[in-house]
Structure formats: structure tokens, C-alpha cells
Amino acid sequence: MGTRSWILIFAVLASACGGSDDDGGGTGGGNSAALSSACYAMCDQQEKGDNCIADYTKICKGGCDSVTPSFASKCPDVAKAYYDCNAGIDYQCTLALPSAKDPTACKAENDAMSACTK
């Protein structure tokens, strides 16, 4: 599950950009710039992983630009915790796709982010 985790994460994150915002209340309103910065830090950390390539970082950061505005309004605290945790772990890359060296790292944050995007 590790090597495909990045693809799954972006697929889930991209789906959060559309659809209904009817979450039963709450106005949201997190800081999109802060989330983008945290997401960029995660991308930079992934680039440092074993067998990872710098070209992927640009793609990762483009993904950040696409999804962080939605998370800023939908679940800013969950997204920030997710990005912060994933920016602090070690990665390895297979076929240029980063995955956590420890597949259990950031499990709670990953689960919360997955729930946020549904």
C-alpha cells in the first residue's frame, strides 16, 4: 500500500475540490496560505527520500495549490495536522512515487484526512 499511497492521496484530495459543502454547519475559513506552506513542506520532505527525484516536487506543489483552498474552508485543522505530520517523516520512492518508509507513520492524520475528503 505504500507506493500507491501518494497516488491515492492526490486522488482523494482532488475529489475534495468539488461536490457539496453541506457539512451540517460550520463556516470553516482556515488559512489557505498556511496550508499551502505546510503542503509544500511535505513535498520538500518527500524529495529528500531514497530514490526520489526533484522533478516530482513541482508536481506535488501544483497539487497543493489545487487542493489547499478547499481544505482551508472544509477541514483546515485536519489538513494542517496531516501536512505537518507527513512533512516530518522519512520517504522512499518507487518509480518516482514517494511513500512513507514506515507505513504506520501518520496513520491517525491520514485516516482523518481521508474522512475529511468524503
Report whether pLDDT(8) > 80. no
Cell of 10: 492526490
Give the Cβ contact number of residue 88 at 10 Å.
Answer: 12
Tell me the per-residue pLDDT of 19-59, one tens digit each, with 9 for 90 and over. Answer: 334 443 344 457 889 999 999 999 999 999 999 998 899 99
Ramachandran bin of 106, using left for φ above 0, alpha for ψ from -120 to 50, beta for the remaining angles: left
Domain limits, the chain: 30-116
For the chain, the first-to-last Cα distance in angstroms comes to: 20
Residue 71: partners with Cβ closer than 8 Å, 6 or more residues away:
13, 16, 30, 35, 78, 79, 116
Specify the higher pLDDT residue, 15 or 48: 48
